[in-house]
Amino acid sequence: VTTYWCERALLDGAVAARVSIEVVEGRISAITPRSDAVPGATRLPGLAVPGLANAHSHAFHRALRGRTQQGPGSFWTWRELMYGVAARLDPDRYHRLARAVFAEMVSAGFTVVGEFHYLHHQPDGTPYDDPNAMSEALLAAATDAGIRITLLDTLYLHGGLGSNGYEPVSGPQVRYRDRDVDAWTDRVSAIPTSAGARIGAALHSVRAVDPTSARMVAAWAADRDAVLHAHLSEQPDENEACLAAHGITPTQLLADAGALNEPTTVVHATHLTGDDIGELGAARVTACICPTTERDLADGIGPTAELVAHGVRLCIGTDSHAVIDPFEEARAIELDERLRSGQRGTHPAADLLDAATLHGHRSLGWDDAGVLEVGARADLVAVRLDSVRTAGSTDDVAVAALVFAATSADVTDVVIDGRHLVADGRHSTIDVAAELTAAIAEVVSP
């Protein structure tokens, strides 16, 4: 038995003081509030909350931080810069980069990542000798960093959707494309997994996947109880192309393809019609909101109030990693909604924390994590309540202070599956800043 003694912990939505949490084989075996400090226990300062879930990541985009945030342009000009980094990656470089990025996530309090992975093949589009070399590099990187991963292996068949239908892939996109759905399923079915890893399916978008192929992937995921993720309506252009080619919205296309079900997560869900919102709610999907990326790319603000009112659960993702900070993503859902609607208080702090913990873990297929209760995976994230940002918060406002004012720099300790991976704000095995520096230098142009 390993015992963690928390100054405070979030239990059943309330802040409890002096909480002893016992862990056996990576799971919580006992929780005792108002407990004296146990000799030999590891002390966690501040407020311990459940593990945070990063439900949408493209690890290599981290190399773009600071390089794409300035100058004019749009999502589409950003995409050209992103393609440049993608072109320089191989399995070894991607392993080094992703290991540092995943360690940055762990240091920020994330205990699981959904890696939306589409960079599959060699620069000329032919598969590596091991066709899953890139997927395996990402899985190894997650193991190194100590974070659980759901590898959302992504189908990407077409280069775009124009007025004449689907366009062939070109340039760096040839690395993303599997020959067809059968080639994708053969490859994905052969990915080896381990205890901390799961495989999910992803449809890149209605720009890259046609309705017939989307239907086949949805059936594959349902057969295997795998989660299914898809980018949805991030940009108005995507909606217009879909309407012009198919006469329906991207949401309706996914619904018709059988791709909208309870284990489905739609990513962004920014530009939706009223009917789309009703469809997503009826299907009980989860929507992954990625506010720091959506603002960086000038995507717009999605209708999170209406989505929740219709029964859609929200989770968060750091997506392009403009920043990696769970608190910034969570509060932005509410703060962006205030700017959009002129109303305050749509998403309470407790709901935002649920999005960042419980709903994110469920979106990635980890139903036994994201909550502090006996039997759950022993993920603990300790957040300082005495930093310059959080000082002065009493127990009754601690959750709101954490959601609305804390940053990833306030995370002191992270425990994943019972392993104490971050202490005093430092990752136990990886020098995160040094490895980021070295790995990014390998993939950006001088």
**How many residues of this chain interact with Zn ion, rule: CB under 5 A?**
1
In the complex with Zn ion, the residue whose CB is nearer, 46 or 317, is 317
Q: How far apart are the first and last CA of the chain?
A: 51
Q: Check: CB of residue 124 under 8 Å from CB of residue 87.
A: no
Give min distance, CB of 109 to Zn ion, in A: 21
Task: Tell me how far, at minimum, the Cβ of 405 lies from Zn ion, in Å.
Answer: 27
Q: How far is the CB of 267 from Zn ion (least distance, A)?
A: 6
Instruction: State which residue, 319 or 435, has the beta carbon closest to Zn ion.
Output: 319
Catalytic site residue from 268, 321, 359, 361: 268
| 154 vs 185 by CB, closer to Zn ion | 154
Type and span of the H or E element at 181: helix 181-189
> Does an H or E element contain 268, and which?
strand 264-268
Helix or strand (DSSP H, E) at 281: helix 274-282
Our CB check for Zn ion shows the closer of 57 and 393 to be 57
Min CB(208)–Zn ion separation in Å:
12
| Nearer of residues 10 and 288 to Zn ion, judged by Cβ | 288
Q: Are 398 and 387 in contact (CB under 8 A)?
A: no
**Of 231 and 347, CB closest to Zn ion:** 231
Report the residue number, 356 or 421, with the smaller CB distance to Zn ion: 356
| Burial grade of 387 (CB within 10 A; 0-12, 13-18, 19 or more) | middle
Sequence-ordered list of residues with C-beta below 8 angstroms from that of 82, at least 6 positions apart, any chain: 61, 64, 68, 320
268 belongs to the catalytic site: yes
Q: Toward Zn ion, which CB reaches closer, 296 or 319?
A: 319
Least Å from the CB of residue 56 to Zn ion: 6
Decide if 138 contacts 117 (C-beta within 8 A). yes
Catalytic, 319? Answer yes
Distance of CA 284 to the CA centre of its chain: 19
| Piece in contact with Zn ion (CB under 5 A), picked from 216-224, 269-277, 311-319, 407-415 | 311-319
Q: Is 303 exposed, middle or buried (0-12, 13-18, 19+ CB in 10 A)?
A: buried
User: In whole angstroms, what is the distance from residue 254 CA to residue 8 CA?
Assistant: 44
Distance CA 27, CA 375 (A): 6
**436/124 Cα distance (integer angstroms):** 27
Taking the CA atoms of residue 294, residue 313, residue 104 and residue 324 in that order, the dihedral angle to the nearest 10 degrees is 30
Positions of E strands within 290-385: 313-316, 380-383
Q: How far is the CB of 143 from Zn ion (least distance, A)?
A: 23
CB of 232 to Zn ion, least distance (A): 10
Element (H, E) at 69: none
Q: How far apart are CA 317 and CA 19, in angstroms?
A: 30
Q: Which H/E stretch holds residue 16?
A: strand 14-24
> 115 vs 417, which CB is nearer to Zn ion?
115
The active-site residue out of 319, 351, 354, 413 is 319
C-alpha to C-alpha distance for 43 and 196, rounded to whole angstroms = 25
Q: How far is the CB of 274 from Zn ion (least distance, A)?
A: 25
Residue nearest to Zn ion (CB): 319
Residues 312-331 that bind Zn ion (CB under 5 A): 319
288: left (phi over 0), alpha (psi -120 to 50) or beta: beta
- Closest distance to Zn ion from the beta carbon of 354 (Å): 22
Instruction: Answer yes or no: are the C-beta atoms of 383 and 109 closer than 8 Å.
Output: yes
Contacting positions for Zn ion (CB under 5 A): 319
Catalytic sites, residue numbers: 268, 319
